[in-house]
Amino acid sequence: MQQAKVKVKDGSSALRAKAKIAWAKVAEKVEAATSRSHDERKLAHERGRAKVAAAESQLHREKVAHREGAMEHRLHKHAGVGGHNHKHGAGGVH
């Protein structure tokens, strides 16, 4: 069940990242179209690449956070399993 939650969270993060990347590319094209010189176009391209890289970096940070959350859940959920659950002296003569 936890893996399904992680998969859904990763999917939603990926959609958000794709949207940010698409907007960054659109903003880059608009800025390049309105620029007056070749240097301004190059600068617009570099800004667009930086925005795309930031969105991809955010996606990877969110995926790590999802995995850490799943690990924390498993550790806390199964903390008591495997402990001393047997009764001392059971089956013996008292």
Q: How many domains does the chain have?
A: 1
Residue 60 lies in domain: 39-79
Q: Is residue 69 part of a domain?
A: yes
Residue 65: the pLDDT is: 92
Each residue's pLDDT tens digit, 10-62: 999 999 999 999 999 999 999 999 999 999 999 999 999 999 999 999 999 99
Q: Is residue 1 part of a domain?
A: no
Q: Is residue 55 part of a domain?
A: yes
Q: Among 33, 59, 54, which Cα is nearest to 45's?
A: 33
Each residue's pLDDT tens digit, 63-75: 999 999 888 888 8
Q: Is residue 14 part of a domain?
A: no
